[in-house]
């Protein structure tokens, strides 16, 4: 979605208050659920595009149903 829908590059990273969750060199958490990563309601994810022509940082808030 980030790459195709919003135009983010392959060079993006995702982090939370707990630290790095994903980048091109660290994909250990791709199959993990938010709960497994310690992410719960009121947690935030930050997506950073690290390309030469980057998009703005995207901050997502996690909420429960």
**Residue ranges of the domains in the chain?**
12-61
Residue 23's Cβ-count burial label (10 Å; 0-12, 13-18, 19+) is middle
Blockwise average pLDDT, block size 10, the chain, 65 residues: 87 93 93 90 93 89 87
* Full-model pTM: 0.83
pLDDT at position 3 is: 84
* Phi and psi based region of residue 6 (left: phi greater than 0; alpha: psi -120 to 50; beta: remaining): alpha
Q: Cα–Cα distance between 65 and 62 in angstroms, integer?
A: 10
Per-state percent for the chain, helix, strand, coil, to nearest 5: 5, 30, 65
pLDDT at position 48 is: 95
């Amino acid at each position: 979605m980030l790459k195709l829908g919003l135009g983010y590059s392959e060079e993006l990273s995702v982090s939370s208050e707990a630290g790095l969750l994903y980048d091109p060199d660290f994909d250990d958490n791709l199959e993990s659920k938010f709960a497994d990563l310690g992410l719960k309601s009121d947690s935030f994810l930050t997506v950073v595009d690290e390309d030469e022509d980057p998009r703005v940082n995207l901050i997502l808030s996690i909420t429960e149903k």
